[in-house]
Amino acid sequence: MSRPLPDVDDPEFAPFWSGTSAGELRLVFCARCDEVRWPPRPVCPRCRSFELEWRAVDPRGHLHTWTVVEHQTTADMPPPYVVGLVQIADHPTVRLIGQIDAGAASLVIDLPLTTRFDQVDERVTLVNWVPSEVRS
Amino acid sequence: MTTGAVVIGIGQTDYTRRSGRSEAHLAFEAILAAARDADIAVEDLDGIISHPFSISPEEIVSGLGLPGLRFSCTVHMGGAGAVASLQHAVNAVESGVASNVLIVRARNGASGGRINQRPSQQPAQHFRDQLERPYGWNTPAQRYSMICRRYQHEFGLTREQLGAVAVSASRHAQLNPGAQTYGRPVTMETYLSGRTIADPYTRFDCCLETDGACAIVVTRDDRPSPRRVDARIVAVGEGRPPSPDDLTNRPDLLRIGLEPAAELAWERAGVGPDDMDAVMVYDCFTFEVIHQLEAAGFVAPGDGGRFCASGGIDLGGRLPVNTHGGLLADGHLSGLSHVIEAVRQLRGEGGARQVPGARLVGVTGWGDLGDGALAVLDAMDRVA
């Protein structure tokens, strides 16, 4: 049994995954009222328009919270590893789950993070995070 | 203000890690026990509220030979469903649609495969598949530990405060011969030595996985009863947090459905948290007792940890919590066992763990990504 991968052909998510394959973090915006929404949903919760567009955003965020997984529950993913909930810097109502490549002892709430696009295979590139200090 | 419905019967199996029986077998044992306790014929069960992904009304009708099922429904709120189901049972019996409504929980939760192997019951599975599972985030311990850390950040929380919840539950379970951990107490030392599951959650922060079943029967309060005091359903409330299908994008991770649920229940009941003699809290994790005591208004925000560590939740304390041991120490029956314990306390059947003079008991439910429910039950004296 191997690790679970997203279905990149799911129409509601396909633009996200073609974005990550191109090294871009894309989110859904309402084409009528400009409100960002995440995860992708068919209708804008604010103005209820069905018109949406995908836009690339600055791939940086802050660590909102995290857990250190020490008991294995996913095939092909031996612990320990850190799963973080990252708040997107330019769009703070949006948060993404991803693995954080940092020692558990170095983690603090609001730690600045930068996206690292990790290609798994020719179709799937996942969005993980590293401390921004490391990147600069 | 109260409803006109009582919990007329309760039943349960033993709670173990290996039942050696099927879920249907367990369910039928509990259902027959509840009918006996209610002093009704099994054939008179005419309403069933089932749990999604568990034994269906159809299987119960076939398996027990029920001739007259007239009402059924399912509540899809995870562990909050048992408490939320009480409202549906009340509606059915008060309207006359059914006379004897059964609520049942049955699962081989320990021997039937661990939590990460079971199909997930949470809403919006596509979000989980697309955005969460690929990163190795797929169990309640991993999800909810993140909420605990936010609380820790905002209010402060110590290991000993979390441990106090585990130790209190264990202490109560030692007074409950039916508890899965009866005879195996967890001390603070044990708690602190537990291995990490998903930090900050360690082994003894996490609830049990249990093979077992329990069941209750609800009927109108003007039907015959075999006893002098029955547990009456005073009021029920259900609620959801903001962004109920997605924890990750909830503006405030500490908001839970129990808040609006409790507001509704207190308003309908005409009593408040300070009037409760005990409360059964859906203790999927130690922190969730602290969290829910605050969310339902039993303690002020930020005070939950201190309250638990001070002995407030112990038998003999200001507000005994989970006198049976809860999900942490009695067994994981998805919250229905908490309703049963409330009923026992109100009937005066608590034995060594009886809360003296218990007349009002609350029961919370927590499910999925933070759905919530609260029920208020009271002791109804039967006129001879």
Q: What string of DSSP letters covers B241-290?
A: -SSTT-STT-SSTT--THHHHHHHHHHHHT--GGG-SEEE---SBHHHHH
Any B CB within 8 A of A85 CB: yes
- Given pLDDT bands bounded at 50, 70 and 90, which one contains residue B121? confident
Chain B residue nearest residue A7, CA to CA? B130
Residues of chain A neighbouring B198 (CB-CB closer than 8 A): 67-71
Q: Does B199 contact A7 at a Cβ distance shorter than 8 Å? A: no
CA dihedral B164, B169, B173, B175 (to 10 degrees): 70
Give me the mean pLDDT over the B144-169 stretch: 98
Q: How far is A26 from chain B, CA to nearest CA, in Å?
A: 13
CA dihedral B116, B122, B124, B127 (to 10 degrees): -30
* pLDDT tens column, A73-108: 999 999 999 999 999 999 999 999 999 999 999 999
Q: How far is A131 from chain B, CA to nearest CA, in Å?
A: 17
The SS3 assignment for B24 reads helix
The SS3 assignment for B74 reads strand
* Rounded distance between C-alpha atoms, residue A67 and residue B198, angstroms: 6
Q: Quote the pLDDT of residue A2.
A: 83
Residues of chain B neighbouring A104 (CB-CB closer than 8 A): 199
Give me the mean pLDDT over the B329-349 stretch: 98
* pLDDT tens column, A28-62: 999 999 999 999 999 999 999 999 999 999 999 99
**Interface predicted TM-score of the whole assembly (ipTM), two decimals:** 0.97
* Rounded distance between C-alpha atoms, residue A79 and residue B198, angstroms: 10
Nearest to B149 among A4, A65, A96 (CB): A65
Residues of chain A neighbouring B285 (CB-CB closer than 8 A): none
Closest CA relative to residue A79, chosen from A68, A93, A87, A95: A68
- Percent residues over pLDDT 90 in chain B: 95
Please check the confidence at residue B117 and state whether its pLDDT lies above 90. no
Q: Quote the pLDDT of residue B115.
A: 66
Q: Quote the pLDDT of residue B116.
A: 64
Chain B residue nearest residue A118, CA to CA? B135
Any B CB within 8 A of A39 CB: yes
* pLDDT tens column, B59-111: 999 999 999 899 999 999 999 999 999 999 999 999 999 999 999 999 999 99
Which amino acid makes up residue B292? Answer: Q
Query: Which residues does B153 contact at the CB level (< 8 Å), separation at least 6?
Result: A65, A109
- Percent residues over pLDDT 70 in chain B: 98
Exposed (0-12), middle (13-18) or buried (19+): which is A42, by Cβ within 10 Å? exposed
- Given pLDDT bands bounded at 50, 70 and 90, which one contains residue A1? low
Given a contact cutoff of 8 angstroms between Cβ atoms, the answer to whether B136 and A3 are in contact is yes
Please check the confidence at residue B113 and state whether its pLDDT lies above 90. no
Nearest to B198 among A10, A39, A67 (CB): A67
The pTM (predicted TM-score) of the whole model is 0.97
